[in-house]
Amino acid sequence: MKHAVILSLVLFSALVFAQQQPKTPEPAKPTQANPNDVKSVDATIRALYDVISGPAGHPRDWSRMRSLFHSGARLVPTGKRPNDPQVGARVLTVEDYIERTTPFFAKEGFYENEVSRKQEQFGSIAHVFSTYESRHAKGEQPFQRGINSIQLFFDGTRWWVMTVMWDAETPQKPIPEKYLR
């Protein structure tokens, strides 16, 4: 009898514990990429900048965006928040990024282009420090500059974006000259 009570408690605890654990969502199956977008690091980064750029109200090609990123990839904006002395980082999935930026892109033109790059590669991994400028319209002066830190992975057939982390330039934090050449 004593063993039956202990076994019942153990099974009950295991059941409760299992119910309290969040289930890990199945990774989304990536959209089939255009082979020209993912054939090289250069092509993948060019596609990344292209897919987020466009005039106000112009829907972005989110399927193309999804096709560039590996399942589980993250986008991480960093910087100071208003009225907060701490620097923060917000970790986003591709879907989070799409959800957060779609209303902005509906109202504002946004063009981001690479102006300089520092790249390192070893085997199937690459890291790119990509200095960018952001504009509301082509031909305008940039309203922002910064650096995208982009990590990519080559699976033997194509390149995948794994992480994009970025930080914007401020008067207190100018972009070093070595990242502008």
Q: Could you tell me the pTM of the whole model?
A: 0.81
Question: Which residue in the block uniquely carries the two structure tokens 């520092």?
Answer: 118
At 15 the pLDDT is 35
Instruction: Answer whether 122's CB lies under 8 Å from 143's CB.
Output: no
Pick the CATH number of 35-179 from 1.10.357.10, 3.50.50.60, 3.10.450.50, 3.90.1310.10: 3.10.450.50
Where is 129: in which H helix or E strand? Answer: strand 125-135
- Give residue limits of the domains in the chain: 35-179
Contacting residues for 37 by C-beta, under 8 A, at least 6 apart: 43, 44, 47, 64, 67, 68
**Of residues 154, 152, 153, 136, the one with CA closest to residue 144:** 136
Q: What is the mean pLDDT of each run of 10 residues along the chain (181 residues)?
A: 37 35 46 94 98 97 98 95 86 97 97 98 98 96 98 98 97 95 87
Strand partners, 134: 112, 144
CA 24 to chain centre: 20
What CA–CA distances, in Å, run from 15 to 2, 7, 82?
Answer: 20, 12, 45
Contacting residues for 148 by C-beta, under 8 A, at least 6 apart: 128, 129, 130, 131, 132, 164, 165, 166
